[in-house]
Amino acid sequence: MEELKFEELELCPEILKAVKHMGFEEASPIQSKAIPVIMSGKDVIGQAQTGTGKTAAFGIPLLEKIDPKNKKLQAIVLCPTRELAIQVAEEIRNLAKYMHGIKVLPIYGGQEIVKQIRSLKSGTQLVIGTPGRVMDHMRRKTMKMDHVHTIVLDEADEMLNMGFREDIETILEGIPQEHQTVLFSATMPKAILEITKQFQTNAELVKVTKKELTVPNIEQFYYEVKPKNKEEVLSRLLDIYTPKLSVVFCNTKKQVDLLVNGLLGRGYFAAGLHGTGFAQRHHHRLPPCAALLAHGHHSRLSAQGGGQPALQRHQVFFQRQPHHPHHGCCRRAACAADQRRGHRYDRGAESPGL
């Protein structure tokens, strides 16, 4: 199936304006396939992985379906991790930028529950949450399910891997009989098929293949480098690739400051971003222990509010991120408009710190 223009999807003008503002030119394959089916009200199984645009594929139909005048909870998205819940909420908020009266709230464990209860009471229609915390609110009756008409299971295979099956079942059993269930999963193991059989009715399968990623051609490298040589190697890479913008992740603020000073001393334009500044305001985009360093057009990074397009250009993980396996790699990606690369400097045998 061809990729569609967003204008062909019969979306409201506010969403069309938002996708334009977000820089999406045409709908991705999963969006072209899933949006019409989800908007028709059918149960849907979406087989798609991160990077395909799956969030907007279910986020747009959710926003189309939510009645802004009704201040009751109307839809829930379940996600495996707090990071994903925050990211999904952010993407949907961006999509809802020009809509009035829609409140989207991420709900996850580890965050003060009283604050969440206050936000829930103030008229949230869409909750993006992790299963444990959503169940907690259901039990406390601080999340009322009577008006919930849609539930999305995002990264369902991950949720099952993390042991959320019972929680998911309890939540699905707790919402009104008449509802639409949308399930997204990168893989379709038996356990997922069981969930779809048990909780979906005549579900339609939409899937995309790997080559249909919106962020294609990521190349990843790592270099085994002695700690004392890391700065030198980074400098050489900057000279070889001359990226417009790079983001370097370090483990500590001190490491960022050391590296900034080192690079400035070598004549590069570099700025440290951490602590009470940029990194904290955009904490959800960064691994919790990371600090950030911009090289090149720093002003551009700030001007875009730290948005994804800038961050994706050239990422370097200067130190190992032992607690964040998905950040333990680096990216080098080439797309039509720009070059994106990723490198990681580490010596497996050595300690993560410099």
- Binding positions for ligand AMP, rule: CB under 6 A: 24, 27-28, 31, 50-56, 91, 214-215, 308
- Largest Cα–Cα distance in the chain? 65
Distance of closest approach, residue 316 Cβ to ligand AMP, in angstroms: 20
Distance of closest approach, residue 53 Cβ to ligand AMP, in angstroms: 3
Structure tokens at 80: 């495996």
Structure tokens at 104: 């989207």
Write the CB contacts of 108 (distance below 8 Å, at least 6 apart in sequence).
81, 82, 85, 86, 129, 130, 133
Write the CB contacts of 298 (distance below 8 Å, at least 6 apart in sequence).
245, 269, 270, 271
Distance of closest approach, residue 162 Cβ to ligand AMP, in angstroms: 18
**Hey, which bits of 48-192 come out as E strands?**
75-78, 104-107, 126-129, 150-153, 180-185
Sort residue 303 into left (φ over 0), alpha (ψ -120 to 50) or beta: alpha
Q: How far apart are CA 58 and CA 81, in angstroms?
A: 18
**Are the C-beta atoms of 293 and 270 separated by less than 8 Å?**
yes
Nearer to ligand AMP (CB atom), residue 5 or residue 144: 5
Distance of closest approach, residue 326 Cβ to ligand AMP, in angstroms: 12
Distance of closest approach, residue 332 Cβ to ligand AMP, in angstroms: 17
Nearer to ligand AMP (CB atom), residue 1 or residue 114: 1
Nearer to ligand AMP (CB atom), residue 87 or residue 180: 87
Distance of closest approach, residue 315 Cβ to ligand AMP, in angstroms: 14
Nearer to ligand AMP (CB atom), residue 82 or residue 320: 82
Nearer to ligand AMP (CB atom), residue 53 or residue 131: 53
Closest to 119 in 3D by CA, of 106, 131, 100: 106
Nearer to ligand AMP (CB atom), residue 218 or residue 225: 218
Work out the number of other CB atoms within 10 angstroms of the CB of residue 212.
19
Q: How far apart are CA 284 and CA 82, in angstroms?
A: 9
